[in-house]
Amino acid sequence: MRGNFILLLFMGALVPSVYCQDSDYPWAWDCRNEVVEANENATLEDRCVRVMKSENINATGINTCKLTCGPNGVLWPRPTSVELGKDVNFFIPDNIRIYTGVCPANVRILLDVAYQIFSDNIAHYTPDSITWNTTYTHEVNIAVQVTDNQEHLNYDTDESYTLRIISTEDDTAVTIHAETFFGARHGLETLSQLIDYDDEHETLQIVSDVVITDYPVFKHRGISLDTSRNYIGIPSIERTIDGMASNKLNILHWHITDSHSFPLEVKSRPKMMQYGAYSPSQVYRESEVAELIKYAQVRGVHILPEFDAPAHVGNGFQWGEEDGLGKLTVCVEQEPWQSVCVEPPCGQLNLANENMYDVLSDIYKDMVDMFQPMHVFHYGGDEVNLACWNETEEIIEWMEGKNSSRDADDYYREWSNFQERARELLVNASKEVDAESSVGEFGILWTSHLTEEDNVKKYLNPDEYIIQIWTDNKSNIIKEVLEAGFRVIFSNYDAWYLDCGFGAWVGAGPPNINWCSPYKGWQTVYDNSPHHIAKDLTGETHEDKIFGGEVAMWTEQTDEMALDSRLWPRSAAFGERMWSNPSESWRLAETRMVHQRKRLVQRGIHADRLQPEWCHQNEGLCYAYPAEDINPELTTSPSVTTDGGSNLATMFVLNVVAIMFIALN
Which positions are catalytic? 383
Q: Which amino acid is at 136?
A: Y
∠ CA 113-118-120 to the nearest 5 degrees?
Answer: 95
Q: Which residues contact 618 (CB under 8 A, 6 or more apart)?
A: 49, 50
- Pair 312, 258: CB distance under 8 Å: yes
| DSSP string covering 58-121 | T-B-HHHHHHHSTTTTT-SSPPSEEEE-S-EEEE-GGGEEEEE-S--HHHHHHHHHHHHHHHHH
CA distance 463 to 95: 53
CA distance 302 to 300: 7
CA distance 304 to 313: 19
- Pair 166, 122: CB distance under 8 Å: no
Q: What is the CA radius of gyration of the chain?
A: 27
CA distance 299 to 296: 5
Q: Which 8-state DSSP code applies to residue 403?
A: T
Question: Per DSSP, what are the bridge partners of residue 160?
Answer: none
Beta carbons within 10 angstroms of residue 169's beta carbon:
6
The residue count of the chain comes to 665
Q: Which amino acid is at 104?
A: P
CA distance 351 to 412: 12
| Residue 104 buriedness (CB in 10 A; 0-12 / 13-18 / 19+) | middle
Closest by Cα among 274, 263, 357, 346 to 312: 346
CA distance 300 to 62: 31
Closest by Cα among 170, 200, 202 to 95: 170
Q: Which residues contact 116 (CB under 8 A, 6 or more apart)?
A: none
How far is CA 77 from its chain centroid? 12
CA distance 359 to 365: 10
Torsion of CA 325, 330, 332, 336, to 10 degrees: 150
Strand, coil or helix: what is 198?
strand
Q: Which residues of 391-406 are buried (b: 16+ CB within 10 A; e: fewer)?
A: ebeebeebbeeeeeeb
Strand, coil or helix: what is 6?
strand
CA distance 48 to 616: 10
CA distance 392 to 342: 17
| DSSP string covering 449-493 | GGGSHHHHHHH--TTTEEEEE-S-TT-HHHHHHHHTT-EEEE--H
- Pair 19, 127: CB distance under 8 Å: yes
Helix, strand, coil percent content, the chain, rounded in steps of 5: 35, 20, 45
